[in-house]
Amino acid sequence: MSAPCVDVELTTQTGEVIKFKVSALENVSILELFEDAGVRSPFGCRVGTCGTCVVRILEGADLIDGVRQMEEDTLARIAQSEGSPTRLACRASLKPGARGKLVLEKVIIR
């Protein structure tokens, strides 16, 4: 595994701020990066349909790959369009070779 090159800061659903470093590995979702770092974050389907894993991107959106149709449809359905961009942690991945800082906030789905 290559040296960690992205500093991640996640504000969890309870308001706790967790900081960790990750490597930008191809086809590894942000949810999987959370899990590899020992960070527990809610999820459901893991395929982009339930919306449970949604996070708001407060900084570093340019480090993340593009939104595909299923994710776009789910984000539209759960109406998370206000403010900073949102992504599904189970579908979004860091771009290969990404370096920098990624600041995320867990969005609570009601």
Chain contacts with ligand FES (rule: CB under 6 A): 43-46, 48-53, 74, 88, 90
Taking the least distance from each CB to ligand FES, the nearer of 53 and 94 is 53
Taking the least distance from each CB to ligand FES, the nearer of 6 and 106 is 106
Q: How far is the CB of 16 from ligand FES (least distance, A)?
A: 20
- In the 8-state DSSP scheme, what is residue 15? S
Angstrom distances, CA of residue 41 to CA of 22, 36, 44, 62, 69: 16, 12, 10, 22, 23
Taking the least distance from each CB to ligand FES, the nearer of 26 and 73 is 73
**Phi and psi for 99 in degrees, rounded to 5?**
-140, 140
Q: How far is the CB of 85 from ligand FES (least distance, A)?
A: 16
Across-strand partners of 88? Answer: 54
Helix ranges (H only) for 2-93 are: 30-36, 69-77
Q: What is the sign, positive or negative, of the torsion defined by CA atoms of 91, 95, 98, 104?
A: negative
Q: How far is the CB of 99 from ligand FES (least distance, A)?
A: 25
Q: How far is the CB of 3 from ligand FES (least distance, A)?
A: 28
Taking the least distance from each CB to ligand FES, the nearer of 23 and 80 is 80
